[in-house]
Amino acid sequence: EFEVFTTLKDKVILPSQLKKVNSKDMNIPTEHNKELTHFYATITLKCKDCSEEFTRDFEF
C-alpha cells in the first residue's frame, strides 16, 4: 500500500527534474491560460510497509 502526498508551489525548487504538462490536459478553459502564471506540483508516493518513496515534480 502507498500513501499519496501532493503539494503545489509557485516557485521551482528543482527545475532540472520538472516534467512539463500541456495545459490542454489540465481541462482549464483557454481564456484563463493567458492569465495564469506557471505553478509547480510535487507528487510523492510513500510505501506504508517499507521505506520506499517515489517523487515527481511537474510544471503547469
What's residue 24's pLDDT? Answer: 56
Q: Is 0.85 surpassed by the pTM of this model?
A: no
More confident residue, 19 or 60: 60
pLDDT, one tens digit per residue, over 9-56 is 766 555 555 556 555 555 555 554 455 567 888 999 999 888 899 999
- Domain ranges in the chain are 2-59
pLDDT given at position 43: 92
Alpha helices in 1-60 (DSSP H): 30-33
| pLDDT over 60 (residue 6) | yes
